[in-house]
Structure 1
Amino acid sequence: MFLGRLSCSDPRFKTLTFHEGLNILVADRTEVSEQGESRNSSGKTSFVKILRYLVGGDLPPEFRSHHLDNHVFSAELALPQSHSGDSSFATVTRGIRPSNRVRFVGGTALGDPEYRLDEWKTWQARQLFHIPEGAERPTTGQLWAQLVRTWFGSPVKGFSAESDWESGVRLGFMLGLSPEILGRAGELDRLEKQGKAIRKAVRDGALTHLNLDESDLRAELVKARRHRDHMQEQLHSFRVDEQYSEHQHEADNLTREIERLNNEGLSLQRRVRELRQTLLNEVTVTSSQELTDKVERVYAEIGVTLPDLILRRYTDVAAFHESVVRNRRMFLQQELDAAEARLTAIDRERTILDQRRSRVLVLLRETVALDTFLSGQRDLAAREAVVADIERRLADAQTISSISDTMKIKTAELVAAVRTETQDRGEQLEESISLFNELGAEIYSDRDATLLIRASAKGVLKVEPRISGDASTGVKSVETFMLDLVCTIAAIKAGRAPRILVHDSPLFDPIDSRQVASCLNIGARLADQYGFQYIVALNSDFLDSVQSQSDGAFDATPYVLDRRLTDESDTGGLFGFRFD
Structure 2
Amino acid sequence: MIRAVRASRRGFHNTTFTAGVNLLLADRSIKAGDKDTTNALGKSTLIEIIDYCLGSNAPAGKGLRIEALEGWAFTLELAVGGNDVAVTRSTDEPGFFAIEGPTTGWPVQPAANKEGIIGLDTKKWRSVLGWALFGLSELASETGYKPSVRSLLSYFVRNHAAAYNTPFKHFDNQKTWDIQVHNAFLLGLDWEKAATWQQLKDQKNALVALKQAIKTGAVDGELGSLGELEAERLRLATQLERERSALSNFQVLPQYREIERQANALTTQIHSLLNANIVDKRRLERYRDSVATEDAPSEDLLEALYTEAGIALPGAVVKTLSDARAFNAKIIANRREFIAGEIASLEAAITERDSQIAALTDRRAEYLSALAGQGALEELTQLQELHAATRLKVDELTNRITQLRQMSTKSDTIKVQTVELKRATTLDYEERRALWSQALSLFSDFSEHLYNAPGRLVIDIDDTGYKFDVEIAGSPSEGISKMKIFCYDLMLISFARQRGLGIDFLIHDSTIFDGVDPRQRAHALELAATMSAKFGFQYICCLNTDMLPVNDFSEGFDFESLVRLRLTDTDPSGSLLGFRY
| Bin for the TM-score computed over the shorter chain | 0.7 to 0.9
Other-structure match for 2:125: 120
Say yes or no: does 1:517 pair with 2:526: no
Query: Aligned partner of 1:365: which letter?
Result: A
Mapped partners of 2:436, 2:577: distance in 1 = 42
Q: Deviations over 1:414-433 (max 9, x none)?
A: 32232122112111011111
How far the C-alpha of 1:364 sits from its partner, in A, is 2.0
C-alpha displacement of 1:147: 0.7
Q: Report whether the alignment pairs 1:458 with 2:464.
A: yes
Instruction: Report the equivalent of 1:555.
Output: 558
1:105 aligns with 2:100: yes
- Paired letter, 1:74: T
Amino acid at match of 2:385: R
The 8 Å contact of residues 214 and 394 in structure 1, kept in 2 or not, is answered as: no
Give the superposition deviation at 1:33.
Answer: 4.0
How far, CA to CA, are the matches of 2:86 and 2:563 in structure 1? 23
- Rounded to whole Å, the distance in 1 between the matches of 2:55 and 2:355 is 107
1:406 CA displacement: 5.3
Q: Given that residues 513 and 550 in structure 1 are in contact (C-alpha distance below 8 angstroms), is that contact kept between their aligned partners in structure 2?
A: no
Q: Is this contact kept in 2: 1:217–1:394, CA < 8 A?
A: no
* Cα gap change, 1:557 to 1:403, in 2 (>3 Å): farther
Structure 2: runs of 5 or more not aligned? 112-117, 290-336
Q: Which residue number corresponds to residue 372 of structure 1?
A: 379
Partner of 2:48: 49
Give deviations 1:330-364, integer Å, cap 9, x for gaps: xx99x98x999999998887666545433432332
- 1:471 offset after TM fit, Å? 3.0
Q: Which residue of 1 aligns with 2:62?
A: 61
2:449 matched to 1:449? no
1:311 alignment partner in structure 2: none
SS class of match (2:560): coil
Per the TM alignment, residue 570 of structure 1 is displaced from its structure 2 partner at its CA by 0.6
Q: Encode CA deviations 1:120-140: one digit per residue, 9 max, x unaligned.
A: 334434554234152623322
Match of 1:30 in 2: 29
The counterpart of 2:578, out of the listed 570, 576, 579, is: 576
- Cα deviation, residue 245, structure 1: 0.4
SS at match of 1:104: strand
Which residue is 2:445 aligned to?
438
Deviations 1:98-124 (A, max 9, x none): 323323222223422343323433443
Contact kept, 8 Å, 2:6 with 2:14, in 1: the verdict is: yes
Distance 1:33 1:265, change over 3 A: same
1:415 has 2:413 as partner: no
Q: 1:48, CA displacement in angstroms? A: 0.8
In structure 2, C-alpha distance between the alignment counterparts of 1:194 and 1:274, rounded to whole Å: 87
Aligned mates of 2:438, 2:553 — CA distance in 1: 29
**Does residue 14 of the first structure (1) align with residue 13 of the second (2)?**
yes
Give a deviation string over 1:513-545, Cα, whole Å, max 9, x none. Answer: 2222222222222222222222222223322x2
Deviation at 1:458, TM superposition (A): 1.8
CA contact (8 A) 2:12 2:576 kept: yes
How big is the shift at 1:440? 2.3
Judge conservation of contact 2:37–2:569 (CA < 8 Å) in 1.
no
Identify the range of structure 1 (475-484 vs 190-199) with the bigger mean alpha-carbon deviation.
190-199
Contact 2:145/2:181 (8 A) holds in 1:
no
Contact kept? 2:74, 2:88, Cα under 8 Å: yes
Confirm or deny: 8 A CA contact 1:129 1:495 kept in the other structure: no
1:308-323 residue pairs with structure 2 within 5 A?
A: none
- Distance in 2, matches of 1:180 and 1:569, equals 53
Instruction: Give the aligned residue type for 1:89.
Output: D
Per the alignment, residue 184 of structure 1 pairs with 196
Whether the aligned pair in 1 keeps the contact of 2:254 and 2:376 (CA below 8 Å) is: yes
Q: C-alpha separation between the residues in 2 aligned to 1:79 and 1:198?
A: 48
Equivalent residue number for residue 505 of structure 1: 510
Q: Which amino acid in 2 is paired with 1:427?
A: A
Amino acid at match of 1:146: Y
1:32 Cα deviation after fit: 3.6
Give, as a single letter, the amino acid of the residue that structure 1 aligns with 2:519: R
Q: State the shift of 1:413 in Å.
A: 2.8
Partners of 1:527 and 1:352 lie apart in 2 by 121
Distance 1:141 1:355 in 2: 96
CA contact (8 A) 2:184 2:190 kept: yes
Q: Supply the distance in 1 between the matched residues of 2:132 and 2:254 (Cα, whole angstroms).
A: 80
2:97 aligned counterpart, secondary structure: strand
How far is the alpha carbon of 1:75 from its aligned partner?
0.9
* 1:22/1:559 contact within 8 Å kept: yes
The CA RMSD over aligned residues, in Å, is: 4.1
Are the structure 2 counterparts of residues 375 and 535 from structure 1 closer, same or farther at C-alpha, using a change threshold of 3 Å? same
Q: Which amino acid aligns with 1:148?
A: V
Question: Equivalent of 2:546, from 519, 541, 544?
Answer: 541
Match of 1:238 among 250, 257, 267: 250
Q: CA deviation at 1:36?
A: 5.9
* Contact kept in structure 2, 1:505 and 1:537, CA below 8 Å: yes
How far apart, CA to CA, are the structure 2 residues paired with 1:125 and 1:377?
Answer: 66
Identity, in percent, stands at: 28
Largest Rg, 1 or 2 = 1
Number of the residue aligned with 1:324: none
- 1:292 maps to what in 2? none
The answer on 1:96 being equivalent to 2:91 is yes
Gaps of 5+ in 1: 81-86, 278-328
Q: Separation in 1 of the partners of 2:209 and 2:271?
A: 70
Residues 274/20 of structure 1: CA separation in 2 closer, same or farther (3 Å cut)? closer
- Compare 52-61 and 225-234 and name the one that shifted more: 225-234
Q: Given the alignment of the two structures, is residue 491 of structure 1 paired with residue 496 of structure 2, yes or no?
A: yes
Is the contact between residue 226 and residue 404 of structure 2 (CA under 8 Å) also seen in structure 1? no
- Kept in 2: contact 1:254–1:357 (CA 8 A): yes
Residue-by-residue CA offset, 1:66-108 (whole Å, 9 max, x unaligned):
331111111123222xxxxxx2022222221232332322222
Specify whether residues 270 and 18 from structure 1 end up closer, same or farther in structure 2 by C-alpha distance, changes over 3 A only: closer
Q: Deviations over 1:532-579 (max 9, x none)?
A: 222222223322x24x21241632234322x33222221111111111
Aligned 8 A contact 1:174 1:488 in 2: no
Amino acid at match of 1:566: T
| Partner in structure 1 of residue 317 of structure 2 | none
SS at 1:27's partner residue? strand
Deviations along 1:160-193, one digit per CA (max 9) or x if unpaired, are 1113442122111011222221122323444565
Work out whether residues 53 and 74 of structure 2, in 8 Å CA contact, stay in contact via their aligned partners in 1.
Answer: yes
- Equivalent position to 1:157, from 160, 164, 169: 169
Q: Is residue 2:144 matched to residue 1:138?
A: no
* Pairing of 1:342-353 with structure 2 (within 5 A): none
TM-score, length-normalised on structure 2? 0.76
- Equivalent in the alignment of 2:482: 477
Residue type of the partner of 1:477? K
1:26–1:560 CA contact under 8 A, matched in 2: yes
Q: 1:280 matched to which residue of 2?
A: none
Contact 1:21–1:528 at 8 Å: present in 2 too? yes
Q: Give 3-state SS (helix, strand or coil) of 2:495's partner.
A: helix
Q: 1:367-390 CA deviation, whole Å, 9 max, x = no partner?
A: 221112222333344445555666
Separation in 1, partners of 2:541, 2:398: 63
C-alpha contact 2:475 2:481 (8 A) present in aligned 1:
no
Equivalent residue letter for 2:458: L
Paired letter, 1:79 = V
SS in 1 for 2:580: coil
Whichever residue aligns with residue 520 of structure 1, its letter is L
Q: How many angstroms does 1:15 deviate by? A: 1.4
